[in-house]
Amino acid sequence: MGVDAIHLVTLADLIPAESLPLVLQFLAAAGIGIGLVLWLAGQRMVRGMFAVLGLVTGAGTGFFASSYVGYTEIANVPTPLVGLIAGALVGLLASVLLYRAFMAVGSAAVLGFAAVLAAGVMTMQPAIDSGTNAAVALTPSQMLLPGVPEEGEAAPDDTTEVDEPESSLVDRARELLNEEDVARIRAVSNEAATRAREFGSAVYNEAELVWLELSPRQRTSITLWGLAGLGLGFLFGVVMPGRSSMFVTSVMGAAIWMPCALWLMSSMSASTWMPQWDRMMGQPPMFWVCVWIALSLFGITAQWVISPEHRRRKRRALVDADWDEDE
């Protein structure tokens, strides 16, 4: 099972919209909404979220911890109020530190991945098979269906049963859904988990084979690029958390809403009103990586345009232009 056969994984045939409760479509729509907010306005949302979380957590902790002090008043101020104010201040300070740490780790991960990807593209030259006997690439569903063997393995017996893991989420949903809905969700979740494990294992094994086939020079180059990306991303997040938040949230937002939108459209039979849909979904992984990068860059640009810093710079430039005209 080669990388050529690995396309964007879609579970549209596994999870058709007409066979499941509407709650799953609502969850996908919620994922699209959350991803779009992070993609276009993530900087403001993340900063405010950390501030509110720090204030609430710190104030609550200080309020309840004040009961263990042993004093009813401190400087003629009730102890619970002192604990509330002190906890809020400490929580706000902690939220600033956590925000910087989160941005540092996030930007390091994103830049590290981008550096490894760029190094891999520059150092590895894929072999092109121009022969007429080239294997036809399988679709994602064909590749991951039970009974499709991996390269070098025999086809499994059709009577083999897959162990069904217990799902506490399904048990909790029994009060809201009927038994038929629960049974469908259980069957779909088990099959989806099996396919996800098989797909992840195939990608990992293929990546390991590609890594072992690289020369020592290529391995060193990719490793150094990855470490450099991690270091620069971490430094970027620590020194400029505001700008790095645009970078991280745009990348994360695009990575959330794009697959949710693709799955939702596939489950709603988008191929019936978009003739090119099946062809688009069969594009190789590099195509979707490029789409993800393009969407991330667009999100970063959009966040920069609406950011207060950009507005201040634009206002300052207009003021300077007016001064130049007066002189």
Band of pLDDT at residue 4, cut at 50, 70 and 90: very low
Give CA–CA dist 295/35, Å, rounded. 12
Q: Are 177 and 185 in contact (CB under 8 A)?
A: yes
- Cβ burial, residue 298 (10 Å; 0-12/13-18/19+): middle
Asked if residues 245 and 47 have their Cβ atoms less than 8 Å apart, the reply is yes
The label of the residue with tokens 């400029």 reads 240
> Where in the chain are the domains?
3-43+103-125+139-148+165-321
The DSSP call for residue 145 is S
DSSP 15: S
d(CA 206, CA 124): 14
For residues 288 and 7, what is the distance between their CA atoms, to the nearest angstrom?
Answer: 9
pLDDT in tens, 162-187: 444 445 555 655 555 556 666 666 77
pLDDT of residue 21: 56
- Above 80 in pLDDT, residue 222? yes
Looking at the predicted structure, is the pLDDT value of residue 39 above 70?
Answer: yes
Which segments within the chain are labelled E, that is strand? 73-74, 77-78
Looking up tokens 């996908």 gives: 28
CA distance 196 to 108: 26
Pair 262, 282: CB distance under 8 Å: no
Tens digits of residue pLDDT in 289-298? 788 889 999 9
